[in-house]
Structures are given as C-alpha cells and as structure tokens.
Structure 1
Amino acid sequence: MSNGGLLQKAMDQQDDTDGVEATLITAESTPSEDMPISKVLSTLAVFALLPMVLLMWFGIYLDVIPLSILYPLVTIITLVVVWRQLDIGLPASAGGTGVHATRAVIVAGAYAVMLASPLILGNILVGEMSLAEVEFSDDGSTMEIKIRQNGGSSTAVDAQISIGDWSTVEPLSINREDGFGDYGSITLTVSEFYQSNALPSNPYLLTVTVEGLEMSTTLDSLKLSRTITDVQSSTAAAFSTDDDDCGTKDSCVAGVVLTAWAGLDTLGDNPPAPMPLAEYTLQATMYYSGSNVAIAYPEVTVVDTIASWDSSGGQYGSGSAIVGDWGSEISLEGSESDVMLNAKYIPISDWDENDYGCYSFVVEVTQQAPWASTDSVVSHTSHYEYAEEGAGGDNPNNTDESWTKVTSCD
C-alpha cells in the first residue's frame, strides 16, 4: 500500500470521528423535544395562572407588601418556576445547553396575555359607576363615601354631593381597588352637614352626581341621631338595720343611688333610646326643700359611649362608665356598695343636707352646636320624701325611715 493510500485512509477515519462527535454535541445541546403540549398548558395553569388569580382576589388583604411590589414579584417567581418545570433551558452564552424555542414562545405569549389582559379589558370594558358603601369612622366624626367603577379613570372629576339642604363639590378619582373591584372615595366631616336627628320624618338622603349621573341612598339613622331629646332621673334608697347607723330605729336610710338616662325620646314613660355617638355634658344635683343643695355630683362628660367624671378619690365611684352602647342609663356611683341594689350609693353622711323632708333630683344635659342649639338644655326632675314613720319591733317607740317617690315637693 502506498503512502498516499495510508494517509487518505487516516484522513477518512478522522472525518468519521469528527462527524460522530458533532452529532453527539448537537444532541446533547438540544433540550428534549418530546414533551406533550398538554403538560405545557397544565404547567402554565398551575404555576402561572393560578397564583395570579389568587393574588388578584386576595392580594388586597396582604397589608405587609404593597400590590405594586407584590405583582412584579409574583410574576418573576412564577416565570422562573414555569421555566424550570418545562425544562426550557438557557442559551449557550449564559452557560446553558440551548433553549427550546417552541416552549419559550408559548410561555412568553402566555405571560404577555396575562399581564396585558387587565389593561386591555379595563380600557374596553369600563364598568358603570355606582354608589357603594357609606362608612362612618369609629368615633363617628367622618363619613367615607365609596364610588365604584371597574376600569374607571384615576383622573379626578368633580362630584356634586348634597345631603338635605347642605351641598358641596369634592374631587373624585377611581384610584383604589379591593375584592369588589375599582373604586374612589370621598370623606366628609359629619359636623359640617349634621342638622338634627335622622328620624323617619327627617331622613338624611345622600345624593352624588358625577358627570350627569345621579346616585342616591338614605344614610344610617342610628349614626346620624346625636341630639338628646329626653332625659330622666331616678334615685333609690339603700337601707341599713345596723344600730351604728340607725340607733333606736329598726331601719334607716344609709344613702341613695343616683341614676340618669339620656337619649332619644320614646313612647310613654319608657327610658330614652341609646345614642352611641352623642356628645354631651350631664349635671346631676339633688336639692333639699327647694334650693338647698344636698348632693352636687361632679359634671359628667360623655363622648363616644364613654362617660367620665372626677371621682374625688373614690367618693364618686370609679369616675367612668359606658353609656349609649346597649342602653341610655348612667349610674352615678357613690363610695359604698349595696348588694340588694347592685350599685354604689352615696352615704347620707356625705350629703350637705340630710334632714327629713322633700328632695328633688335634677338631671340636666347640655349639648353644643351642631348637635343642638347653642346652650340647649334638656332636663328632668324627680321628687322624693324622706321621713321617719310608724313604730316597729317589740318597742313601740321604734321607727323606720322611708324614701318614697312623690309627684312634687310643693
């Protein structure tokens, strides 16, 4: 065999080896082509579409991370997970072994549709504007009006608002969203439009007009009833049979429990209805024989169901109480407890006047504008006869003391 023949044979063998290696390299650098389209779609549904849907519905309840950060973050994380699940691969320039072009195009198209759909639908399918919730702050000082419109504009427009004879113009932007969709809100100060209690004969009708569209609703009467129209007063005697208190008497008055009510006038002699958002001051005084002060209770201030007063170190109870939440009653506490009355009474030894005779218990409630006319006072007076009467026990000289409600002290 000639040198030329050997050289040619060696070159042919080298060419065959290079071809096999090139084929192996090409096969190794191309991702698997045999993944069914159903797996691609199911992976996108579970790892891409589902997290985005959950975020749209429940993202508003995640106060820790703003949605403006959460949406891009979830998009990136799900894209990485989908990319790995479908084994799409990385280009050689990034240290990978190649990209499966078909799967990459499907994933890119799916994410483009998901990200663009809200914007496209928002521009094409703009919802009808409607008056939604009207919510009061916890202390009742402000009222938030929500106007809903899915896909509405964030550009501010004028909203004409009227409540009865009162009106104002406020800017409205559909720039918020929650689980019910897109909305804008307007906040009003209640004292600006409050006039009187929201009774059936005097409802508060809210009307909002935006670009010619008029929307209206009747406001919550409980939230807008804050003017005290009825006050009541009452006392109850705490009795003692202790010789240290009563001496030779079989029983005697140890003190009185003072009670006041303030709220909305009801039928008959029933206690007034509670007003949880009423603000007022209450003055309670018990007089003896006309104008002589027997008990001058500290002034009571009521704000947002919390009644407070100067307890004078426990002489007048705890100095606070809840009123207007479940009822209109205010127990004006004293320093001593009575089991039978389940209340604290003011001992007779603390009265400035404690002789036998007629006593008048006066409760006065004062409110300031706008809740009532300037220096408006609503009051109630109840009368009681304090007396020694009868003879009891084995000794005919023994007597009992009584505390009896009467119609007047005339």
Structure 2
Amino acid sequence: MTSGGLLQKAAEQQTGESNLAPSSTPSRERGSLGSDQTQSLARVFGLIAGGMIIPFFIVMWFGGVFLGENAGYLSAAVLLLSAGFIWLFIGRPAPASSSTIAIGISFLLLLSSNFAIAILFTGEMSLGEIDLDEDDDMIVVKIRQNGGSGSYDASVSITHGGANAYSSTMDLTIDREDGQGDYGWIKIPVSEFYNGNALPSTDYVMSLEVDGNSWTRTLDANHLTRTLTGVDVSAAPSFSTQDCDGAKDQCLRGVALGVAAGLLGSSQEYIAPMPLADFNLKVTMTYEGSVAIDYPSVGVEHTVATWDSSGGAYGSGNANIGLDAATMKLGGSTEASDVNSQIILKEDWEDVGYGCYELEIEGTNMLPWSDATVDQTVYYVYEETNRDDSGQYTSESWVEVNSC
C-alpha cells in the first residue's frame, strides 16, 4: 500500500508537470507578436515622417513662394500620393488596422494644418494709408492684412459737409506687398465725388466696410480743394531815364503784369495756392473804354500755366502757379531790372494816354471741378508829375487808385 501509494503519487506529479509544460508556449508567442506589432508601427511612423510630413512642408514652403495661393492644391495632392504609396509599400493592411489608421489620421492632420497655419499667421485687417494718385487723379485707399489673401467686397461712402456725395461697392484683393506687409487697395476717382472745396471747413468724410470691419476717415482737404474762389492782378510800372519825351527826367517805359489765383481767405485779402486746381485766366487792361493790353488767355492745369507767347511778345508762354504760392508773373517782351520782371512796353499798347486805366482779371474754373467764374478789377492813374518853374512836367507816375 505504501509503495503503491508513493508510485501513484509520483506518476500523478509526473503527469501534472507534463500537462503544465505546453502552457508556457502561447505566452512566448504573444510576447513575440506584440514586439512585431510595435516594430511595424514604428516603421509606419518612420515612413509617415519621411514620406508625408517632410515632403508636405517642403512643397508648402516652396510652393507658396512660386505658386502663391495655388500651393495648397499641390500640397493636398502630394499628401494623397504619399499616403497611398506608404499604404501600398507596407502591404495594403486592412482598413481597420493600426497602420492604416495611423496613415489616415496623419493625412487628415497635415491636410488641416494649412487652415491652422493661416489662422495663426494671418493678421487682423486694418486701414492703411490714404493717398492721392495725381497721375490718374484717384484717391487710393490701402487695406492691410499681414499673411492675408483673397477677395472681398468693399463698401465705400463719402460725404461732403454731411451730405452724401458718393456710394459704391468695389472689389478688394489682398495681393500686394511692401515694406509694411501685405495689402490690397481700392481706387476712387475724385471726379466721381467732388462737390466743392473741402477748405476751409467743409470736410469730405469716407466710411469703409470690408469683411465685417468698419473705418471712418476724413480725407485730406488739400487734395480736395480745387475750385477757384479768388483772383487778383497787378501792373507794376517800369521807368526809364532815357529817351523820355520833352524835358522829363523819368518816364513810364512799360508795366509788368502779375496775377494771383487760388482759394480766397476768410479775410478776403489773402489768396492761398491750390496745386490741384484747373482754370483759365484772362487779363485785359483798358483805357477810357478802349483796349490797351489784351493779354492771351492763360490755361492752368495742376500748377502748369501756358499761353500763346506771340513770338516772344508775351514772354516764354509758360510758368507755374499754385505750387509754392498763388502768384505768377506774366511774361512780356523786354526784361526790366528795376522791377526784376519782363514788361509789356508802353509803345506796344494798343491805346495809350494820360488818365485812368482799368485792369481786369477773370478766372474761370474748368470742369469737372466747377464752371463758376470769379473776377477782380484794379485801377491805375498814369499822369505827368513834378512841374518845374517853366511849367514843364519833368516826370511821370503810375499809381494804383480806388476807382477811375
């Protein structure tokens, strides 16, 4: 019994050990399988990094330089091709496999990164400079947005002295760049909203709305003051001490004509220059109802004055007015040192004699700024002076008076 019992127990223990031995094999297989899966995923992530992420950012960077906005389409195409190539290269795993899921998630994250980058690096839209393009005579309004792009509707309205002068909707595209960043612009022709001078106190105010942003600015009054409101004229005498009639020691040789044209000041005495005004000037001097000097009509466009010089009888036929001052000398046939100007000789006047002269200037605005006319008349008396003991006059004078 004892011997049989011991043998039986030994047999049972041996059988139990043999039954336990095979159970260790599945555990080792599972460990080996987990290690293989980890290595496979690491390989997939390496392929994603080298085959998707790096090419994507290379294409996005250089494509943005050479293709601009179209670089996004190229980046998406590169991502799709790269993802497909990696999936084929690793043996086309099942859609629900960890490798396929990793490739898909990487594709979606990279594809959406374009939008994330745009949000992070696109600045807030702001109103930039407002300038005048003098060549095309347009108000240029810049809208700035660093990193921005695309097209927008820009709603513009302008008032003059509180009254509506202009309203329009324009296309705005952020497609330009300067030292301050990215911007787009809109251009508004001045002729489409000009309704009179901004100076001295009737402002033009612009309101602008773009993509939910609103701005209001007062436009530069100097750019929008173009209607002639004041003119003046003068005739400075030039005297000679030679070749005078009779026993005169001094006689009138001629007159130097000068004009002023621009914005009449509130004091009614000062005329300010208007560099952007366009107008015509006509100067005429009469003697007792007869024309003495009929100066050629002078046309002024943006400070440049021109007229018919009649072969040098009226100077060079060109000058400038309104750039630095509202005054200008009108040319004549002869230079006179005593008045530092060209003069129209008395012998060239159409009618001449002692008495009162009316000198008139008429300024007519050019369309589209205005068609209004302003004028001014001054008076001069030409007479003999300084009678000697013998009753002879020894001099002549040319003096401005209030009226004839």
Q: Which letter maps to 1:340?
A: D
Aligned position for 2:187: 187
Partner Cα separation in structure 2 for residue 388 and residue 223 of structure 1: 49
Q: How does 1:209-228 map to 2 (within 5 A)?
A: 209-228=209-228
Once the two structures are TM-superposed, the CA of residue 200 in structure 1 deviates from its matched residue by 4.9
Partner Cα separation in structure 1 for residue 384 and residue 298 of structure 2: 33
Q: Which letter maps to 2:219?
A: L
Confirm or deny: 8 A CA contact 1:240 1:252 kept in the other structure. Answer: yes
* CA-atom RMSD in angstroms: 2.4
Aligned position for 1:377: 373
Partner Cα separation in structure 1 for residue 136 and residue 315 of structure 2: 28
Are positions 1:149 and 2:148 aligned together? no
Partner Cα separation in structure 2 for residue 390 and residue 345 of structure 1: 25
Distance change >3 Å, CA 380–CA 68, structure 1 → 2: farther
Q: Which letter maps to 1:315?
A: A
Aligned position for 1:59: none
**CA offsets per residue over residues 125-145 of structure 1, 9 Å max, x none?**
322211111111234711211
Q: How does 1:99-248 map to 2 (within 5 A)?
A: 121-139=117-135, 141-154=137-150, 156-164=151-159, 165=164, 166-243=166-243, 245-248=244-247
SS at match of 2:296: coil
SS at match of 1:349: helix
Q: Which letter maps to 2:271?
A: P
Distance change >3 Å, CA 292–CA 396, structure 1 → 2: closer
Once the two structures are TM-superposed, the CA of residue 247 in structure 1 deviates from its matched residue by 3.9
Are positions 1:356 and 2:354 aligned together? yes
Distance change >3 Å, CA 209–CA 380, structure 1 → 2: same
Q: Which letter maps to 2:235?
A: T
TM-score normalised by the chain length of structure 1: 0.67
Confirm or deny: 8 A CA contact 1:204 1:219 kept in the other structure. Answer: yes
**CA offsets per residue over residues 300-319 of structure 1, 9 Å max, x none?**
01112111111111100111
Distance change >3 Å, CA 248–CA 122, structure 1 → 2: farther
Q: Identify, as 1 or 2, the structure richer in strand.
A: 2
Confirm or deny: 8 A CA contact 2:280 2:366 kept in the other structure. Answer: no
Aligned position for 1:327: 325
SS at match of 1:223: helix
Once the two structures are TM-superposed, the CA of residue 266 in structure 1 deviates from its matched residue by 1.6
Partner Cα separation in structure 2 for residue 168 and residue 339 of structure 1: 57
Once the two structures are TM-superposed, the CA of residue 388 in structure 1 deviates from its matched residue by 1.3
**CA offsets per residue over residues 25-76 of structure 1, 9 Å max, x none?**
xxxxxxxxxxxxxxxxxxxxxxxxxxx9xxxxxxxxxxxxxx859xxxxxxx
Partner Cα separation in structure 2 for residue 395 and residue 118 of structure 1: 105
Confirm or deny: 8 A CA contact 2:199 2:222 kept in the other structure. Answer: no
Are positions 1:300 and 2:295 aligned together? no
Partner Cα separation in structure 2 for residue 223 and residue 242 of structure 1: 50
Partner Cα separation in structure 2 for residue 380 and residue 148 of structure 1: 49
Identity of aligned residues (%): 44
**CA offsets per residue over residues 190-211 of structure 1, 9 Å max, x none?**
1111111112531111111113
Among 383, 388, 396, the residue aligned to 1:387: 383
Distance change >3 Å, CA 188–CA 269, structure 1 → 2: closer
TM-score normalised by the chain length of structure 2: 0.68
Among 397, 401, 404, the residue aligned to 1:406: 401
Once the two structures are TM-superposed, the CA of residue 391 in structure 1 deviates from its matched residue by 1.9
Partner Cα separation in structure 2 for residue 120 and residue 206 of structure 1: 35
Confirm or deny: 8 A CA contact 1:140 1:223 kept in the other structure. Answer: no
Flag structure 2 segments of 5+ consecutive residues without an equivalent.
1-60, 68-112
Aligned position for 1:274: 273
Distance change >3 Å, CA 160–CA 296, structure 1 → 2: same
Q: Which letter maps to 1:336?
A: T
Partner Cα separation in structure 1 for residue 114 and residue 352 of structure 2: 79
Q: Which letter maps to 2:337?
A: V
Aligned position for 2:252: 253
Flag structure 1 segments of 5+ consecutive residues without an equivalent.
1-51, 53-66, 70-116
Partner Cα separation in structure 2 for residue 378 and residue 140 of structure 1: 28
Confirm or deny: 8 A CA contact 1:122 1:150 kept in the other structure. Answer: no
Distance change >3 Å, CA 344–CA 395, structure 1 → 2: farther
Are positions 1:346 and 2:341 aligned together? no
Once the two structures are TM-superposed, the CA of residue 270 in structure 1 deviates from its matched residue by 3.8
Q: Which letter maps to 2:264?
A: D
Please tell me whether Structure 1 or Structure 2 has the larger radius of gyration of its CA atoms: 2
Partner Cα separation in structure 2 for residue 140 and residue 300 of structure 1: 24
